């Protein structure tokens, strides 16, 4: 707290003057003050304001717009804001947090607290604190342990967070061992802040992270997933992912990643898959159109995770990874399901991992229009991402080979565009529907209908649009080959 007897007072007054506190925060602060309670903006809200990242509020549906801490208990917060808040939510009230909505903004108010984990618990146990200092010291890092009172804008920095922010250092307010024992998820948060904000953890923090990485296994899959998703869309996910592996946290959260560090011997040379993967991720990021593309980044990270399980040493040297895209697809789905990823996101990533090798072989000139149609059809809405993933997957230092691969893919995209000008190849359907097939063959819904429809889809790929009469003739031919009775024919 600023005091005239404090030698840091003038600097803190300057900082307080620089912070642009949203009017909504002051409005809420006046309500708390009128009822005899303190209210402070805290955590990432203050950190981002100092970094110039708090550009506005407006309810994005993600993290809350504004975070506050107070001496008032949750029930009291609800009582004081009744009539002011346009909506409230109490999902976090067991942890001392009340959510408020006002003029399109989302605010979270948390009572001073101290929390820690039982050794075998996935969730923190919460007890309320009685001072701002006690609340700040239990926060994860000094850069998140700064506060600004509202409505009078007193800047509070008890643990040197502003100095750490200016030096791009990540440090805990108290001993790092205690902080990480309180909540092991802070290991992932430290890694994410390094990737997102460029804050390097101190050696002491790195040591504590390494010693406690196994403790991440007690944290719920959902909390781990949320941190990993924030990490992958950060400014420098490669730095974060390398730290994830180096401190042992990947082994407890994303074990497929350190698994890419396969031993390489002098007799069976192959590219370092781990280093290759990081290069592919960086190259995929370079191809993003409008901000981070989470699906593309995950696909780039996971595209080769099937290689360790499919590696085979060839006689006389060399290494093969046959069908690693199939194994990788299954591994990807299993990991994303375990991390409770949304199904649509997991499906998109898994499809890209499965298809990332499909292009190879195109350059031999053997691809027919049918093959191109299948490529587009199978990729579906992920086609643009597949283009980027395939191009990113070229990390050869052989400039001639890289240029050749680029030309081949340019050629494929030109053929796709030419076919697309003739037909909507991304939405190819058989010319005969399932109902048509049942009517023509005189059969009821069954697996046979699905088999017939798949055949007609393959026929559509191979022959393009042929018209209904030719499609019916092909269906009857297919049915006859299988000995199916043809309506209208007698024995």
Q: Is the pLDDT of residue 347 over 90?
A: yes
Q: Verify that 7 and 141 share a domain, yes or no.
A: yes
Q: Verify that 398 and 462 share a domain, yes or no.
A: no
Percent of the chain with pLDDT over 70: 85
Residue 465 lies in a domain: yes
Torsion angles phi and psi, residue 219, rounded to 5: -85, 145
Q: Verify that 438 and 420 share a domain, yes or no.
A: no
Q: What is the per-residue pLDDT for 396? A: 82
Q: Verify that 460 and 422 share a domain, yes or no.
A: no
- Give 180-208 pLDDT, tens digit per residue: 998 999 999 999 999 999 999 999 999 99
Q: Which residue has the higher pLDDT, 326 or 363?
A: 326
Q: How far apart are CA 286 and CA 292, in angstroms?
A: 10
Q: Verify that 447 and 418 share a domain, yes or no.
A: no
- Residue 427: count of CB within 10 angstroms of its CB: 10
Cβ partners under 8 Å of residue 365, min gap 6? none
Give the helix ranges, DSSP H, for 51-171. 74-81, 132-137, 161-166
Residue 227 burial by CB count (10 A; 0-12/13-18/19+): exposed, middle or buried? buried
- pTM of the predicted structure, to 2 decimals: 0.81
Residue 346 lies in a domain: yes
Residue 126 lies in a domain: yes
Residue with token string 């909507």 = 424
Q: Which residue has the higher pLDDT, 68 or 396?
A: 68
What torsion do the CA atoms of 136, 250, 170, 203 make, to the nearest 10 degrees?
Answer: 120
Residue 27 lies in a domain: yes
- Domain end: 130, 151, 167, which one? 167
> What pLDDT band is residue 48 in, cutting at 50, 70 and 90?
confident
Q: Verify that 307 and 416 share a domain, yes or no.
A: yes
Measure Cα distances from 65 to 141, 143, 171, 253 in Å. 20, 18, 24, 28
* CATH number of the domain where residue 71 is located: 3.30.460.10
Element (H, E) at 378: helix 369-379
Q: Which residue has the higher pLDDT, 14 or 277?
A: 277
Residue 361 Ramachandran class (φ > 0 left, ψ -120 to 50 alpha, else beta): left
Q: Which among 90, 81, 102 has a CA at the least distance from the CA of 35?
A: 81
Residue 20 lies in a domain: yes
pLDDT (mean) for 126-137: 88
> What pLDDT band is residue 490 in, cutting at 50, 70 and 90?
low
Q: Verify that 476 and 339 share a domain, yes or no.
A: no
Q: Verify that 11 and 150 share a domain, yes or no.
A: yes
174-178, 207-211, 417-421, range with greatest mean pLDDT:
207-211
Q: Is the pLDDT of residue 120 over 80?
A: no
CA atoms within 13 A on the CB side of 42: 24
> What pLDDT band is residue 16 in, cutting at 50, 70 and 90?
low
| Residue span of the structural domain in which 371 resides | 255-263+271-427
């Amino acid at each position: 707290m600023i005091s005239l007897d404090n030698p840091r007072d003038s600097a803190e007054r300057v900082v307080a003057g620089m912070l642009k506190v949203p009017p909504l925060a002051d409005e809420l602060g006046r309500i708390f003050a009128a009822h005899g309670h303190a209210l402070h903006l805290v955590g990432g809200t203050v950190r981002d304001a100092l970094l110039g990242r708090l550009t506005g509020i407006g309810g994005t549906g993600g993290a809350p717009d504004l975070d506050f801490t107070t001496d008032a208990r949750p029930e009291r917060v609800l009582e004081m804001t009744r009539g002011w808040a346009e909506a409230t939510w109490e999902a976090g009230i067991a942890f001392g947090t009340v959510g408020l909505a006002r003029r399109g903004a989302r605010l979270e108010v948390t009572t001073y607290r101290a929390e820690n984990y039982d050794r075998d618990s996935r969730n923190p146990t919460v007890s309320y604190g009685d001072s701002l200092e006690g609340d700040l010291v239990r926060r994860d890092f000094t850069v998140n342990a700064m506060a600004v009172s509202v409505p009078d804008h007193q800047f509070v920095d008890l643990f040197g967070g502003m100095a750490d922010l200016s030096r791009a250092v990540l440090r805990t307010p108290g001993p790092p061992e205690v902080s990480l024992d309180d909540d092991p998820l802070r290991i992932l948060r430290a890694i994410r802040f390094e990737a997102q904000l460029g804050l390097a953890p101190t050696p002491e923090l790195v040591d504590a992270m390494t010693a406690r990485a196994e403790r991440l296994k007690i944290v719920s899959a959902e909390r781990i997933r949320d941190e990993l998703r924030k990490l992958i869309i950060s400014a420098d996910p490669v730095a974060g992912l390398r730290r994830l592996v180096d401190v042992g946290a990947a082994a407890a959260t994303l074990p497929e990643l350190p698994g890419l560090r396969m031993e390489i011997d002098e007799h069976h040379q192959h590219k370092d898959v781990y280093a290759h993967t990081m290069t592919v991720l960086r190259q995929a990021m370079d191809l993003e159109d409008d901000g981070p593309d989470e699906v593309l980044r995950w696909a780039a990270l996971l595209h080769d995770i099937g290689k360790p399980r499919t590696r085979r040493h060839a006689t006389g040297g060399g290494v093969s990874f046959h069908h690693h895209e199939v194994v990788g697809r299954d591994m990807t789905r299993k990991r994303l399901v375990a991390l409770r990823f949304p199904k649509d996101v997991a499906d998109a990533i898994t499809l890209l991992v499965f298809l990332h090798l499909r292009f190879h072989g195109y350059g031999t000139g053997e691809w027919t229009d049918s093959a191109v149609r299948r490529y587009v059809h199978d990729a579906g809405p992920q086609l643009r991402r597949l283009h980027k993933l395939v191009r990113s997957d070229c990390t050869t230092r052989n400039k001639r080979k890289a240029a050749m691969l680029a030309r081949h893919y340019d050629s494929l995209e030109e053929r796709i565009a030419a076919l697309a000008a003739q037909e909507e190849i991304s939405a190819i359907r058989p010319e005969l529907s399932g109902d048509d097939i049942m009517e023509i063959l005189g059969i009821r819904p069954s697996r046979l209908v699905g088999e017939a429809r798949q055949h007609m889809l393959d026929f559509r790929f191979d022959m393009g649009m042929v018209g209904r009469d030719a499609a019916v003739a092909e269906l009857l031919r297919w049915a006859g080959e299988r000995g199916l009775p043809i309506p209208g024919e007698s024995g």
